[in-house]
Amino acid sequence: MADVAGITREELQLAARNHGMPLEALRYDVTPSGLHYLLIHYDIPQIDADAWRLHVGGLVARPLSLSLSDLRQRSTVTRSVTLECAGNGRALLAPRPLSQPWLLEAVGNAEWTGVPLRDVLEEAGVEPSIAELVFTGFDRGVEGEIEQAYERSLSIAESMREDVLLAFAMNGEALPPQHGAPLRLIVPGWYGMTSVKWLSRITAVGEEFGGYQMATSYRFRSDPAEVGEAVTRVRPRSLMIPPGIPEFLTRSRVLDAGTHEVRGRAWSGLGAIERVEFSDDGGGTWSDGRLDAPHRDSTAWRGWSIEWSASPGERVLCCRATDSTGATQPLEPGWNVGGYANNAVQRVTVTVRG
């Protein structure tokens, strides 16, 4: 794993704004709202929820203009969904792509309540000519020298999945401003950039949308000149609650020798989690952890644990998830220009006291 050094002012400014989930919060199945990760491209917009309306237009048969109370009066669903930022792990790449410098904390699992997107699209009329839906947020800024509202598209097939939500509540309460109030998209299984916050409108289009966040950003490239593949679904990852107690500045950890239960969570947007392994020698040898019972919602992370016999010395703890497609976590990161989807195994250094 590369060392991290020389973070720039720009990166620090982003790190000061965008919140990670301290890893001990992996103990909560439902991440408290204030501990859920946040990645906000521009500023949190100021929106009057009473005057706000969602506009659904473009190639639909019947354009809609919906108020928040229109949406609340529909049949609603609550679903536990694990969201992870596509840039999680970016600051562990070398050379380090300049953007939000996430280590491993850009994740959270919340209870989202809202209306299935499919229901709204069916009411608007899903014409055969529709290829994609474009989701436009109220947040506005400049990126790649282009002034823009944050805007992402999703194919009509993905948009019609039953688990895609237009969410107005998080953990049983109205969405907080920073999580997209009054309404946001939630697309389980995809990296977080897909779940557009502060929705303003949904536009049905007949061809692939070429906006900045689709064609320029969020693509896997080994060279900036490439077109690259789109970043889509979440690669498998497991994280553990770092055992022991930390040193304030270095975050290095100490604990006493003996048997400790190590716990964590694992998730994948490609398939169900089928295995989590644990190593206390930096990935040299591995033992299978126990998986908790599957979550009620397949869109949520899955708990895992292992009894660890800690003998004195310095130990490097690792965990590695494998999903039902056979996808697993690499020991070393794969590099790309944007620093996306680095799901290399977590390493936690612990000094075990005799």
Q: Name the residues that contact a copy of itself, by CB under 8 A.
A: 3-17, 19-20, 22, 24-25, 27-28, 32-36, 38, 40-44, 46, 91, 98-99, 101-103, 105, 140-143, 147, 176-179, 242, 245-251, 254
Per-residue DSSP letter, 233? B
In the bound complex, what is the minimum distance in angstroms from residue 92's beta carbon to a copy of itself? Answer: 10
In the bound complex, what is the minimum distance in angstroms from residue 87's beta carbon to a copy of itself? Answer: 12
Classified as helix, coil or strand, 71 is helix
Check if the beta carbon of residue 26 is closer than 8 Å to that of residue 74: no
Between 142 and 157, CB nearer to a copy of itself: 142
Q: Tokens for 234?
A: 């979440």
Interatomic CA distance for residues 195 and 214, integer angstroms: 13
In the bound complex, what is the minimum distance in angstroms from residue 262's beta carbon to a copy of itself? Answer: 14
Classified as helix, coil or strand, 318 is strand
Q: Which residue, 246, 242, 236, is CA-closest to 263?
A: 242
Between 51 and 142, CB nearer to a copy of itself: 142
Between 41 and 275, CB nearer to a copy of itself: 41
Q: Which residue, 70, 91, 85, 249, is CA-closest to 166?
A: 70
Between 298 and 305, CB nearer to a copy of itself: 305
* Measured CA distances, 160 to 64, 120, 337 (Å): 17, 10, 32
In the bound complex, what is the minimum distance in angstroms from residue 318's beta carbon to a copy of itself? Answer: 18
Between 44 and 156, CB nearer to a copy of itself: 44
Check if the beta carbon of residue 93 is closer than 8 Å to that of residue 339: yes
Q: Which residues pair with 112 in a beta bridge?
A: 79, 170
In the bound complex, what is the minimum distance in angstroms from residue 124's beta carbon to a copy of itself? Answer: 30
In the bound complex, what is the minimum distance in angstroms from residue 28's beta carbon to a copy of itself? Answer: 8
Classified as helix, coil or strand, 68 is helix
User: Residue 83: which residues within 8 A CB-CB, separation 6 or more?
Assistant: 36, 37, 107, 108, 109, 110, 186, 192, 195
Between 244 and 282, CB nearer to a copy of itself: 244
In the bound complex, what is the minimum distance in angstroms from residue 261's beta carbon to a copy of itself? Answer: 13
Between 43 and 122, CB nearer to a copy of itself: 43
Rounded to 5 degrees, what are φ and ψ at 283?
A: 100, 10
Between 143 and 163, CB nearer to a copy of itself: 143
Q: Which residue, 110, 123, 117, 114, is CA-closest to 154?
A: 117
What is the CA angle 345-35-68, rounded to 5?
A: 120
Q: Which residue, 319, 322, 244, 317, is CA-closest to 282?
A: 317
Q: Which residue, 221, 251, 218, 243, is CA-closest to 232?
A: 218
Between 33 and 298, CB nearer to a copy of itself: 33
In the bound complex, what is the minimum distance in angstroms from residue 354's beta carbon to a copy of itself? Answer: 16
In the bound complex, what is the minimum distance in angstroms from residue 118's beta carbon to a copy of itself? Answer: 29
